[in-house]
A and B are shown apart, each in its own frame.
Chain A
């Protein structure tokens, strides 16, 4: 699904050249659930921007679903982001003047899907994240966890090849965060390839595989022996709440 081969990234500012990414090679097969970890400045954001087709590598080859992304022009990159990638951001990045359904429609708008079909698909996507009753709400009228679920609906509505999350639980309380991770696990079980960038070990413990970066290099790539099931944790959480009330 994702094939990174000797990818480097060098930022030039004036005479100074900063290497953000040493030659990195990484393969993510379809159906994988990867956490990319590392302290700030380790190059994980750069790696994610390249995987997300927001940025081009300085050197090396990147193939996404067999297509050579590293050779694409701006318009082709926009097309690839639109069809192949679903972004989920730490700050949700919902358009505040649009309703939940209109936000979810966004990738379909740039794909040229007709209004009626867009609406139908956005309702299906919102239902799948459990927000069928919040369709006409504005982001400001939703809780953080609900906003992130709208964002996930927006990311999956176009049926992309991969979901790309940038600290998706970073702005949420632990319960909402757990619910979001549970949603990712459900999507992954249904076959979705997911890559999350995080510095939270608890989040990483729910993934199938953890890739660690330090100073622009991949220092480890390990399979998680027993990923924690967030849905069971959620259930336990709820029982605990019921017990106390």
Chain B
């Protein structure tokens, strides 16, 4: 009997029991869809977070005080890093906070206010749309000037040219001198909903003499790692003790994140894989029932010349058709699910092709693997016994 005949016969078996076949397939459909959706979402999240971290700035190094070390960073530490570490070209202090910003009679609550210095644009890979940025003089004189993001303009300063307008932060009047070019969101944070003010002004405004972190820029990606160890050594010497600061290059942050998300993706994939395995067992179960139900049919086929091989192939093809069509439908569901999620989350990542291929091949081999036993069982039935079966 040709393979085409076997497929035709298997197809009749599947269509003879539409509901049962559909339910059997459902196990594989859910398994494949889950693998594709979860792995795609995991990969999408990873690539989205990675690209966002890369977008924070070029060759960025982040320095912060180690938790529990009792040390606070100050502007002097920032100076020290720039002066003593040759591979670091710029370092800007950062003092983020949030406050209500007022313009005329309009209030905007929970606005990110960040104290910084002149090199901010360079280090954080931002540009100005128009106006000027905070300069050295503003920092030295604790100038009451502000550079704002586009969202602030949209939500607060709605009319007239923004430059020269006065906004009020915690009761202090600030003059807008510049507007940042738009950047969009990073990890769910709107990078354009920000008000930048001189670091010294910020320290006075928020009543502190420290800063929360230092953003430094290494000369190149290659020396970033060198800059990290150099900066660590310099600061440890400066503070006179070890383990007081965390210094991390962008690559390190990415690596940490990658390990985390990869573990997560693997876990999600494994959970989904288990459901695929359960789907396979479902196929085997239904095939065994089908073999018992069709004992007489098997006997009749054998009486009219079906060889063991013909019967094996008939049942094997049936279970493979179930698992493969389940796999195909699962791909459609999984891929559309992954696309919907990535669109909702605003990622420009697609569906994981690897996940599609792997889960489909896995589903097909599950059908083959779990189909072999029932098929062999059917083929080895004694024709006399099978014909007598009622």
Q: Do A and B form a real pair?
A: yes
Question: Which residues of A are in contact with B by a Cβ distance under 8 Å?
Answer: 49, 52, 54-55, 74-75, 78-79, 81-83, 87, 89, 93, 95, 97-98, 106-107, 109-112, 154
Q: Closest Cβ of chain B: how far from A77's Cβ, in Å? A: 9
A111, B300: Cα distance in complex, Å = 15
A110 adjacent to B297 (CB under 8 Å): no
A75 adjacent to B16 (CB under 8 Å): no
A79 adjacent to B305 (CB under 8 Å): yes
A93 adjacent to B1 (CB under 8 Å): no
Asked, given contacts A54-B384, A93-B387, A95-B297, whether A87 binds B303 with beta carbons under 8 Å apart, the answer is yes
Q: Closest Cβ of chain B: how far from A103's Cβ, in Å? A: 9
Q: List 10 A-B contacts (CB under 8 A).
A: A54-B302, A74-B307, A81-B305, A82-B305, A97-B16, A98-B12, A106-B304, A107-B304, A110-B301, A110-B307
In the complex, which residues of chain A have a beta carbon less than 8 angstroms from the beta carbon of B387?
54, 89, 93
A110, B304: Cα distance in complex, Å = 8
Asked, given contacts A49-B384, A55-B384, A95-B297, whether A82 binds B16 with beta carbons under 8 Å apart, the answer is no
Q: Say yes or no: is B2 at the interface (Cβ < 8 Å to chain A).
A: yes
User: Considering only CB atoms and an 8 Å cut-off, how many residues of chain B contact the other chain?
Assistant: 23
In the complex, which residues of chain B have a beta carbon less than 8 angstroms from the beta carbon of A83?
305
In the complex, which residues of chain A have a beta carbon less than 8 angstroms from the beta carbon of B304?
81-82, 87, 106-107, 110, 154
Which residue of chain A is the closest to B13 with respect to CB atoms?
A: A97
Quick one: CB contact mask for B279-314 with A, threshold 8 Å, 1 for yes?
000000000000000001101111111111010000
Query: Contact partner of A110 among B13, B299, B310, B383, CB < 8 A?
Result: B310
Apart from A81-B302, A93-B296, A106-B304: 4 A-B pairs, beta carbons within 8 A: A54-B384, A83-B305, A109-B5, A110-B306
Q: Closest Cβ of chain A: how far from B93's Cβ, in Å? A: 80
B300 adjacent to A95 (CB under 8 Å): yes
A54, B385: Cα distance in complex, Å = 10
Q: Closest Cβ of chain A: how far from B126's Cβ, in Å? A: 71
A110 adjacent to B303 (CB under 8 Å): no
Please give me the 8 A-B residue pairs with the lowest Cβ-Cβ distance, nearest first: A82-B305, A110-B305, A78-B307, A107-B304, A93-B300, A97-B16, A87-B303, A106-B304
A97, B296: Cα distance in complex, Å = 13
A78, B16: Cα distance in complex, Å = 27
Of residues 1 through 27 on chain B, the ones whose CB sits less than 8 Å from some CB of chain A are 1-2, 5, 9, 12-13, 16
In the complex, which residues of chain A have a beta carbon less than 8 angstroms from the beta carbon of B16?
97
